[in-house]
Amino acid sequence: MLWQVLQGVEYLHSQWVIHRDLKPSNILVTSENALGGGGMVKIADFGLARIFQAPLRPLHDNGVVVTIWYRAPELLLGARHYTPALDVWAVGCIFAELTALRPLFQGDEVRRSGAPFQKDQLMRICELLGAPTEEIWPTL
């Protein structure tokens, strides 16, 4: 199943599409695949998906994207020019949740319109992964 999620996300990115809201409820599994084996993964809910291009243009056109528990740190810090890396972060969070059977970064969201900065969510990430340094995040 995890391999199929990665293949689906790789295909989206090869078509210059960022999903922007990957989370477990947007990963669907059919009862069996065409070869009669286990279920086939389908990525759903493309309501926030956008085309990206080089050079990157702002994609922050309709409010904050990605459900908070799967939101990449750059989005929590208010980035407006972002890459497919935010989908990769979300996939990592989904994989961890499947392994641990609970969300990896279960922070509390400040529900304010247009509020990308989410202190509690950033604290959850730093508690588990450590605070970013110039060495591991040179553009900080």
- At 99, the amino acid letter reads T
Distance CA 56, CA 103 (A): 30
- At 78, the amino acid letter reads G
Judge whether 87 counts as a catalytic residue. no
Candidate list 21, 45, 87, 108, residue with the active-site label:
21
Side-chain half-sphere CA neighbours of 129 within 13 A: 17
Tell me how many helices (H) and strands (E) the chain has.
Answer: 4, 4
Residue numbers annotated as active site: 21
